[in-house]
Amino acid sequence: MNTSTITDNILSARYLRKGEKTFEDICHRVASALASDEKDRELFYEAMTSLRFLPNSPTLMNAGTEIGQLSACFTLPVPDSIPGIFDAMKQGAVIHKTGGGTGYNFSHIRAEGSPVRSTDGVASGPVSFMKAFNAATDVIKQGGRRRGANMGILNVWHPDILSFITSKKEEGSISNFNISVMVNDEFMTLVRDRKFDEIWIKHPVTGVKVTVGEIWNGIVDGIWKNGEPGVLFYDEINRHNPTPGLGDIDITNPCGEQPLLPFESCVLGSINLAACINEGKFDEELLDDTVRMAVRFLNNVIDANVYPIPEIEEATKKTRKIGLGVMGVHDALLMLKIPYDSPGGRKWCGEIMHRITETAVEESQLLAEKLGTFPEWEKSTWKERKVRNAAMTTVAPTGTISLLAGCSSGIEPVFSFAYTRMNTVGKTFFIVSPVFKEALHSTLSEKGHSGDELKKREEEVIAHVHDTGSIQDLEWLPADFRSLFKTALDISYRDHIEMQAVFQKYVHASISKTINMPNSAERKDCEEALLAAWTLGLKGITIYRTGSRDSVVLSLGNSE
């Protein structure tokens, strides 16, 4: 195993700027660009170099450089006109160029087959335009650092919903988009009551009718076959919209953790919970200090940011939303010896997230005392508290920054405790989780193994994990060890959803998480998961059934 080599590789490929050689150089540049005083500069630098807090990739790449675009998440409106649609495409291209991802809701575009007055023609519908956005993304390479990412959303009450749901049926099509259906409570209630024959929409021109059952089966079938579409819950998102006076929310960023108003953007940053553990104990004071520092950090980003277009600057500065999240959650649980899929695991996570959000709100209040509330505070739900930011917490995927920090990503359970990873130049690395390795060593020692025999046993277990991803079938290992070291695929999908729900209870925005299912899962499991997600108050859900797509980024044995 060689985690640091991988880290070096990611760094040089993505974050190092001219003249920079080390991770410390990057942290120095970022801290200097963002701190408002010397004390914070030191705090920002220390939190990043100790890998306890990292901002999203665009901040690491662009802070203190000419590009200066620091946010990961953007949402753009797409109106129902040719100039409007292509304006959105142009705005998206500019954002991709600087490393941001864009979310669009295509529901304003009139249905396929509708009349086009000026030309006497017929409209080609939202799906055809989504393909054009996809092609545009292909040609923007983001300076070779990230491939552009988009979210495409269609409301369940749009007449083209069936063709949208099946638009990614062919593997590899519209590959620069994640797609999600925005459902509402009315639709979900009909599904729950199994009113599948009810007519849900009628095409305004052709008169074609679509039933609840056709749409629901389309969604479930798509998920079962290849993990898409995702599902977003419109009413739940809007029940928690912090600024209802500025309009409803019907768009999210590419990975779904940020439901935002049109033209808003959000900068993310994540605290590595595993780095808040000292000698087996979770350091709550260190967490509180880190949260306060992170809120000031992210709030400063809003002012230091170079916005790609004026509309985005205006919308972002009206609400000043920031996205503070967590990573290394599973690692922290393992270090504290609490199983992820247990009542104790959920309790601990709920308490920690509650604490993070409360502390973040307090810090935002302090900022408001000094600098004033966010401009649209009067139109917000923050009646009791004067805060600087309309929303503070979220859970990002932390895809790259968790690799950099060497911790488990976001709130996801570890995928495998041993795997091979290939870097961008094709070199492979055999990686074993250090927490697992250490715990295995002491468990086997306690069982009386020693010397060469102990070493042989360790190697045997690690090879088994590498090949199968699990230790659950190694019955000779102690039961408590096995129940602690469960991986994403050992954990039932219900436990995945419950963990997401625990975090969602305390998180202001939304959560990026994949609900993993085994390959043997059936369509009815997907149905049950979607209904559970709605009932438990999630704002969105992404399900992936193992092996349902040919190519996945991380798989057992050899992975990309």
Cis, bond preceding 229 (omega within 30 deg of 0): yes
Considering the candidates 112, 214, 257, 264, report the single residue annotated as catalytic. 257
* Minimum distance of ligand ADP from residue 62's CB (angstroms): 12
Buried b / exposed e over 234-260, threshold 16 CB at 10 Å, is bbbbbebbbbeebeebbbbbbbbbbbb
Tracing tokens 């509309």 back to the chain, one arrives at 311
Query: What's 490's DSSP letter?
Result: T
Nearer to ligand ADP, 174 or 444 (CB): 174
**Least separation, in Å, of the C-beta of 75 and ligand ADP?**
10
Q: Which one of 27, 255, 266, 276 is the catalytic residue?
A: 255
In the complex, least distance from residue 204 CB atom to ligand ADP, rounded to whole angstroms: 33
> Minimum CB separation from ligand ADP for residue 377, in Å?
26
Concerning whether 253 is annotated as a catalytic residue, the answer is yes
Q: Maximum CA pair distance of the chain?
A: 83
Q: Considering beta carbons, is residue 153 or 368 the nearer one to ligand ADP?
A: 153
Least distance from ligand ADP to the Cβ atom of residue 468, Å: 27
Residue nearest to ligand ADP (CB): 101
Contacting positions for ligand ADP (CB under 6 A): 56-57, 72-73, 100-101, 146-149, 253-255, 257, 268, 396-401, 512
Nearer to ligand ADP by Cβ, of 408 and 470: the residue is 408
Choice between 62 and 389, CB closer to ligand ADP: 62
Distance between CA atoms of residues 257 and 273, nearest Å? 19
Considering beta carbons, is residue 512 or 546 the nearer one to ligand ADP?
512
Kindly provide the b/e burial profile for residues 8-32, where b requires at least 16 CB atoms within 10 angstroms of the residue's own CB. ebbbeebbbbeeeeebeebbbbbbe
- 238 a catalytic residue: no
Contact present, 328 and 57 (Cβ < 8 Å):
no
User: Which residue is catalytic, options 253, 299, 300, 516?
Assistant: 253
Quick check: 267 and 55 in contact, CB under 8 A? yes
The least distance separating ligand ADP from the CB of residue 41, rounded to whole angstroms, comes to: 22
* 54, 406 contact by CB (below 8 A): no
Q: Where are the alpha helices (DSSP H) in 113-194?
A: 125-139, 161-165, 185-192
CA dist 32 to 25, 43, 300, 324, Å?
A: 11, 11, 12, 20
Is position 558 annotated as part of the catalytic site? Answer: no
Instruction: Report the nearest approach of ligand ADP to the CB of residue 148 (Å).
Output: 5
**Considering beta carbons, is residue 484 or 507 the nearer one to ligand ADP?**
507
d(C-alpha 80, C-alpha 106), whole Å: 9
CB of 425 to ligand ADP, least distance (A): 19
Residue 209's alpha-carbon distances to 124, 127, 158, 192, 196, in angstroms, are 19, 19, 12, 21, 13
Cα–Cα distance for residue pair 229/223, rounded to 1 Å: 6
User: 363-391 burial by CB neighbour count: b if 16+ within 10 A, else e?
Assistant: bbbebbeeeebbebbebbebeeeebbbbb
Residues known to be catalytic: 253, 255, 257
